[in-house]
Amino acid sequence: MAERIPAALQQLLSERLSYYEDIGIRLLYRNRGTGSLPQIPAPFQVHREETHLPKATPASASLKIAATAPSVPRKIDVLPVVSGPSLFESVDKIADDSLLKIRTDLGDCTRCKLHKGRHTIVFGDGNPKAELVFVGEGPGHDEDMQGLPFVGRAGKLLTQMIEAMGLQRKDVYICNVVKCRPPENRTPEKDEVTTCSPFLLRQIDAIAPRVIVCLGSVAAQTLLETTRGISQFRGQWLEFRGRKLLATYHPAYLLRNPNAKGEVWRDLQKVMAVLGLQVKKSKSS
């Protein structure tokens, strides 16, 4: 006789399936080989044999330097360490996805514990068809109050960096790994990143930028699924789902370590070269 699923488990499975749908996982199959009911997986521990999704390349392969980018010199000789099953390989691109639809799916999100302390969800801001996307860590106090990313002191510095590149904020798209402010601006915890970052993945897929710049280690380690320190690959071209990705220091780090501004400017100049942007000449020159 078929094993009956307890009501509480049905409810949990229902919530979990709704969540998978919101983040773009549409096909799930039960592995009948075990003969017993599966345990509810921890967030995103979706295994390849259970999803029957198109076979993906090994996670490490997605981290190779952009071999498809002949205009970008190959400089990296270190591949990031991949920790555990890939978070993103199970998430297919959703046809005709849009930022509006992703925001609608996110809703008044309570999927992780960060919702308890937030004032506002900070979804993202900027050009929905931007060629350049900046990804930060998470909202701070000012962002939480205004509902916009990078509007505090670090945000002002980011704006200056964007303008130094010959762009304006409205030309690029800015978002974060987690959409709700962590208490006391602490670093987002693994479960929070795991739960929220698939929405970031959908944002990036929907925008389809030419270049992604990760601001700080949380953004870089999340998208690259690595535990390596950012200093090991900062300023080097990597590849993320077919797009060029470069990690640099977070503007908040630059506020504490102004001497690192030169390194970040050199990183941004690499981005400018790929996007065909020119450094503006000063009036005196």
Could you list the residues that contact ligand SF4 (CB under 6 A)? 106, 109-112, 114-115, 121, 178-180, 192, 195-196
Smallest distance from the beta carbon of 57 to ligand SF4, in angstroms? Answer: 27
DSSP 38: P
The CA distance from 267 to 280, in Å, is 17
Q: Which long-range contacts (CB under 8 A, 24 or more apart) does 46-54 make?
A: 46/20, 46/85, 46/90, 47/85, 48/85, 48/89, 48/90, 51/25, 51/27, 51/90, 52/27, 53/25, 53/27, 53/89, 53/90, 53/92, 54/92
Minimum Å gap between C-beta 177 and ligand SF4 is 9
The residue among 90 and 248 lying less far from ligand SF4, judged by its C-beta, is 90
Find the shortest distance in angstroms from Cβ 112 to ligand SF4. Answer: 3
d(CA 266, CA 248) in angstroms, rounded, equals 10
- Which residue, 186 or 283, has its beta carbon nearer to ligand SF4? 186
CB of 59 to ligand SF4, least distance (A): 22
123/249 with CB nearer ligand SF4: 123
Q: To the nearest whole angstrom, how small is the minimum distance from the Cβ of residue 270 to ligand SF4?
A: 30
CB of 77 to ligand SF4, least distance (A): 35
Backbone CA torsion sign across 98, 42, 45, 238: positive
Nearer to ligand SF4 by Cβ, of 200 and 271: the residue is 200
**Minimum CB distance to ligand SF4 smaller for 23 or for 167:** 23
Tokens 């997986």 locate to 41
CA–chain centroid gap for 58, Å, is: 19
Closest CA to 195 of 22, 43, 24: 43
Of residues 195 and 221, the one with the C-beta less far from ligand SF4? 195
